[in-house]
Structure 1
Amino acid sequence: MEARATHIRCIILAGGKGARLRSRVADLPKPMAPVDNRPFLELLLDQLEQQNIHDIVLSLGYKSEHIVRHFAERPRETQRLEFVIEDAPMGTGGAIRMAAERHPAPYYLVLNGDSFCHTDLQDFISSVYRSEFTNGMLAALQPDCSRYGKLTVHKHSGKVIMIEEKKPNAGPGLINAGVYFLSAEFLHKHCLQQGAFSFEQTAFPALVGGGLYAYTKAGPFIDIGIPEDYDFLCAHKEQFFPQREATLSALSE
């Protein structure tokens, strides 16, 4: 399993505009929204680095030059960053397809560049390997699933059985945290559509239908796409990035 894990490439979807954050953030790509004077995207990369994930493809779109310049001026010590830049918005599906075509690998860890889930990603990957399924996703427990839709997961196998549509007063439950472990075989079969398309609408039903493992030991989850959640992260970042906060505290002593 460890040998297989070395062949995983991480794709971060970081092409969003962040139009809903304009009241809080300057005209920057959404993943560059500052959290304690550091771009949110850097905090995602820190999580990956701490968990020995070093091969990263950043899928960029809106104002991509800001991200490229930022990491040219501040290179990562142990991570190799590759950039795939959209000429026009490709949607999540088109962005994943293009990144995978340009940087082939047997397996991909796919993350959204505007959300974070504090999780042992290596255990997530190992859990998918140990399951009867080839592909997996993080399932985060939320007190209210209204914004996301709710997952039904088989208690013993971990298989995703159903995904309910978003609805008011959905109550607590598991949601799709937007972190996937995907095989190249699946992408080659179900992400062939050219042009822009939504991974969630086009390919995700095939994931569920073919057997999708849900890793339910995910930690705190947050999506910075709306001002209220972005404000909450800025005020309570230690809830989501405890290892980084502990490191900074130790260095200051």
Structure 2
Amino acid sequence: MTEAILLVGGKGTRLRPLTVNTPKPMVPAAGVPFLTHQLARARAAGVEHIVLATSYLAEVFEPYFGDGSALGLHLEYVTEEEPLGTGGAIRNVASRLRSGPQDPVLIFNGDILTGLDIKALVAVHETSGADVSLHLTRVADPRAYGLVPTDADGRVQAFLEKPQTPEEIVTDQINAGAYVFRRSVIDAIPAGRPVSVERETFPDLLASGAHLQGMVDSTYWLDLGTPQAFVRGSADLVLGRAPSPAVPGRCGDRLILPTATVAPDAKLTGGTVIGEGAVIGPGARIDATTVLPGARVDEGAVLSASLIGENAHVGARTILSDVVVGDGATVGADNELRAGARVWCDAVVAPSSIRFSSDE
């Protein structure tokens, strides 16, 4: 049996205000907490035991997922008292693992939406005899990422910082945030202090002559660290572009949860999600947007690539494009917000004195 560690302790500061009241892995994507998709994909790959390494708002996870039996899993929870970094978090849960010293342990970052072939990564790890195997993906513009060059056999050669000049871009391969560790490598990580696998563990292993194997899998991959990426990932799940057995309905242009109310002439497109108890008014046009439970969008509002928080209210004829509206916030009628605007939780944006036509 392969078991796994899920790193879900991050504060999600780039996702605020979504993460003020909710840890990043619990923000809904395609109708369920994002973590549900990761757990379901791991279970589909044969994983049965998963330890969640929690920290920020740690008390939220176990009441929702319990022991994991509803997903066919056995879940355990370990909370960091102080932030320990990726490597420190992995080491902190080692006592809950059941694997022997030579057995493989899967590790996933809690904010990556991916179509990774998990079984293939484990197979590469076992056939190569690696100490650690890494999922690598290729990106068109690697300047925002650390680079991971490999040799002709896929063996990792180095971990390079974000390139500053074109000459430093020696590969388009980046660390995609999923690994297989030999259990003994986890036990060798220093305990009780912050450790970064990217900046300390992996470079130190390379320097000591350990075998780090890369597997390039360039299927769907998205870092959900920003609101724009999170909204896109949710839409891609609904549209079927990103695979998950946990989407609560058929893939298509929209996903309307059972207790939501949508006016007959409202138009929902682009992977839009309407959460439980949400209300969409007449003539609203909503594209590639997530409307969380209990929110209300009034008549004639036009929303695109946005996220509307729980119990938030978008007034009539308001236009939102690439906007996050926090939980409980109100954006009054006839407003127009664009280009990454964020409305904080429980804030009120007064109705505008300028009237917008929904056709503009």
Q: TM-score, length-normalised on structure 1?
A: 0.86
Matching residue's letter, 1:45: L
> What is the aligned partner in structure 1 of residue 47 from structure 2?
53
> What is the aligned partner in structure 2 of residue 227 from structure 1?
227
What is the correspondence of 1:34-183 to structure 2 with a 5 Å cutoff?
Answer: 34-72=28-66, 75-106=69-100, 107-155=104-152, 157-167=153-163, 173-183=172-182
Q: Partner of 1:101: helix, strand, or coil?
A: helix
Shift of 1:132: 4.2
Q: Does 1:196 align with 2:194?
A: yes
Shift of 1:53: 1.0
> What is the aligned partner in structure 1 of residue 299 from structure 2?
none
Tell me if the contact between 2:67 and 2:75 (Cα under 8 Å) persists in the aligned partners: no
Tell me if the contact between 1:138 and 1:218 (Cα under 8 Å) persists in the aligned partners: no
Tell me if the contact between 1:152 and 1:161 (Cα under 8 Å) persists in the aligned partners: yes
Q: Does 1:185 align with 2:181?
A: no
Shift of 1:239: 1.8
Q: Partner of 1:248: helix, strand, or coil?
A: coil
When residues 169 and 229 of structure 1 are mapped into structure 2, their CA distance, relative to the original with a 3 A threshold, is farther
What 5-or-longer segments of structure 2 have no aligned partner? Answer: 256-360
Matching residue's letter, 2:241: Q
Larger-gyration structure (1/2): 2
Question: Structure 1 residue aligned with 2:241, among 234, 239, 242?
Answer: 239
Aligned sequence identity (%): 27
Matching residue's letter, 2:179: Y
Deviates more, 1:39-48 or 1:194-203: 194-203
Matching residue's letter, 2:14: R
Q: Partner of 2:52: helix, strand, or coil?
A: strand
Q: Partner of 2:154: helix, strand, or coil?
A: coil
When residues 77 and 229 of structure 1 are mapped into structure 2, their CA distance, relative to the original with a 3 A threshold, is closer
Structure 2 distance, partners of 1:132, 1:105, is 16
Shift of 1:150: 1.8
Structure 1 distance, partners of 2:120, 2:33, is 26
Structure 1 distance, partners of 2:221, 2:110, is 13
Structure 1 distance, partners of 2:111, 2:195, is 19
> What is the aligned partner in structure 2 of residue 3 from structure 1?
none
When residues 161 and 31 of structure 1 are mapped into structure 2, their CA distance, relative to the original with a 3 A threshold, is same
RMSD: 2.5
Structure 1 distance, partners of 2:186, 2:66, is 30
Tell me if the contact between 1:28 and 1:63 (Cα under 8 Å) persists in the aligned partners: yes
Tell me if the contact between 1:117 and 1:221 (Cα under 8 Å) persists in the aligned partners: yes
Q: Which structure is higher in helix share? A: 1
When residues 208 and 227 of structure 1 are mapped into structure 2, their CA distance, relative to the original with a 3 A threshold, is farther
Q: Deviations over 1:59-102 (max 9, x none)?
A: 11111111111113974331110111112222111110011123
Shift of 1:164: 2.3
When residues 112 and 204 of structure 1 are mapped into structure 2, their CA distance, relative to the original with a 3 A threshold, is same
Tell me if the contact between 1:116 and 1:223 (Cα under 8 Å) persists in the aligned partners: yes
Tell me if the contact between 2:142 and 2:172 (Cα under 8 Å) persists in the aligned partners: yes
Q: Partner of 1:111: helix, strand, or coil?
A: strand
Tell me if the contact between 1:17 and 1:28 (Cα under 8 Å) persists in the aligned partners: no
> What is the aligned partner in structure 1 of residue 215 from structure 2?
215
Tell me if the contact between 2:53 and 2:89 (Cα under 8 Å) persists in the aligned partners: yes
Q: Partner of 1:239: helix, strand, or coil?
A: coil
Q: Partner of 1:116: helix, strand, or coil?
A: strand
Q: Partner of 2:181: helix, strand, or coil?
A: strand
Shift of 1:11: 0.2
Deviates more, 1:120-129 or 1:96-105: 96-105
Q: Does 1:20 align with 2:14?
A: yes
When residues 165 and 80 of structure 1 are mapped into structure 2, their CA distance, relative to the original with a 3 A threshold, is same
Deviates more, 1:64-73 or 1:111-120: 64-73
Shift of 1:246: 11
Shift of 1:116: 2.5
